[in-house]
Amino acid sequence: MKQFFPAELIKKKRQGLPHERAELEFMVQHFVVGTIPDYQMSAWLMAVFFRGMTPEETAWLTEIMMNSGRVLPFRDQGRWAVDKHSTGGVGDKTSLILTPLVAACGGLVPMMAGRGLGHTGGTLDKLEAIPGMNVHLEIDRFVQTVETLGGAISGQTKEVCPADMKLYALRDVTATVESIPLICASIMSKKLAEGLSSLVLDVKFGSGAFMKTASDAHKLAEALIQIGEHHGVRVTAVLTNMDQPLGRFIGNSVEVFECLEIMKGQSFFENDIDFYSDTRELTIELAIEMLLAAQLAPHREAARAKAAETLKSGAALNKFLAICAAQGAVPDWKLPVSPSEHIVRYDGPAGYVTLLDSEGIGYAAIQLGAGRLQSTDKIDHSAGIELFVKVGLPIEPGQKVFRLFSQNPQTLALAERRLKTCLQVGPQPPAPAPLIYGYVTAKGVEYAN
């Protein structure tokens, strides 16, 4: 490999100059083996954050990261694997239902997921709330589980996409997440390493997403689709609203609980609305796209009926339990429950909820122990937040707004202080914002009505 001085490459990017492929190879490969330390990589990531990358550099970075490990065999064997990936949100737990749901419909879903990133939660951290669950499966066991059960969820390992595993953990704690080239390379390197034929992306925008506007989400979707097309993977992106947390819970154990409830056909009504309805609706929408992408349904209505029936019949739940067992979950597992909890009440004038700042709520969940402040931090899987309000609902003084869970009672007051700034109330309800904003494919965008 050609040799460079890391500080010179950091300076080059700091000056806004594009890298050669060999320079990117040098940075990534040395970082993976540890000969470029975290402090130099952090400085380079921050330079990329501010200076960006050309489409060519982004494509190279993706390929270099993908080739840092092995690529799964599905596509080479002529088998049609499909997956979904979200660009990250708060309370976004759909992967936990989608993988077993699509597997139960006959799909092949080798889901390679991530941990919490910035203020957003991660599928792997959620799954690790299940006692015994192994989310870093060895490659042969991962492939075998996908082949026998139709799906498995694992993280990047030393064997598959190790570059993303290390870079992801560093970006999480160095405020270098919200960069289109870094997000593209992170998502697409691990998705391409899965050996997929098609991919469905949930590209989020709003206060709890990395892209704050629909137009930035659209740009990110197009960049992701372009990389997929270049590698022969058919990519569909669903643009979805993340202006408030999804569902009833934010955290790890509590989000697994919400998914189990939905897979058992349960609802949870509070203030006249079902707090599971948005999680359920988004899951079904993404399942429709996955079933169509994998050619498991002839058209949208048939896909909707198939997804809804698989959820209602309990087939998705049974598949989820089978996948957990295959990934090491102990028999009859129970989710950890927090020893201390605290209710936060609203103390302003009556009105309507106009804003639930999801990024702030995500950081409050981290403060409670549900995420990491430093890459070596251990997560409190029982920590989290329950929501009692949604944007547009009426609210009165003294009404319950959040329930906080944490093993560390000292964090409750800190999180409460932050959460109070995340809620805004006005005299009128805001205009309703649809959960699904539009669909983007290589052919263009179609707005939902």
Annotation marks residue 186 as catalytic: yes
Report, in Å, the least distance between residue 186 CB and ligand URA: 3
Could you say which of 134, 156, 186, 327 contacts ligand URA (CB under 6 A)?
186
Total binding residues for ligand URA by CB under 6 A?
9
Residue closer to ligand URA by CB (options 88, 362) is 88
| Residue 116 found at the interface with ligand URA (CB under 6 A) | no
Report, in Å, the least distance between residue 326 CB and ligand URA: 23
Q: Considering the candidates 75, 93, 171, 218, report the single residue annotated as catalytic.
A: 171
Residue closer to ligand URA by CB (options 205, 346) is 205
Listed residue (228, 295, 288) closest to 436, CA to CA = 288
Could you say which of 27, 43, 53, 88 contacts ligand URA (CB under 6 A)?
88
CA 339 remoteness from chain centre? 27
Annotation marks residue 377 as catalytic: no
The type of residue at 434 is P
With CB under 6 A as the contact rule, which of the stretches 126-134, 153-161, 177-185, 223-231 interacts with ligand URA? 177-185
Residue closer to ligand URA by CB (options 87, 198) is 87
With CB under 6 A as the contact rule, which of the stretches 56-64, 178-186, 246-254, 391-399 interacts with ligand URA? 178-186
| Residue 87 found at the interface with ligand URA (CB under 6 A) | yes
Annotation marks residue 248 as catalytic: no
Q: Considering the candidates 19, 85, 191, 218, report the single residue annotated as catalytic.
A: 85
Residue closer to ligand URA by CB (options 46, 187) is 187
Q: Considering the candidates 13, 75, 190, 319, report the single residue annotated as catalytic.
A: 190
Could you say which of 183, 223, 224, 317 contacts ligand URA (CB under 6 A)?
183
CA distances (Å), 224 to each of 85, 86, 165, 180, 252, in order?
11, 12, 19, 9, 28
- How far, in Å, CA of 209 to CA of 118, rounded? 10
| Residue 193 found at the interface with ligand URA (CB under 6 A) | no
Neighbours of 50 (CB within 10 A): 11
Could you say which of 153, 187, 250, 290 contacts ligand URA (CB under 6 A)?
187
Q: Considering the candidates 186, 197, 207, 338, report the single residue annotated as catalytic.
A: 186
Binding to ligand URA, residues 313-352 (CB under 6 A): none
Annotation marks residue 190 as catalytic: yes
Q: Which residues are designated catalytic?
A: 85, 164, 171, 186, 190
Residues that bind ligand URA (CB under 6 A): 87-88, 114, 117, 177, 182-183, 186-187
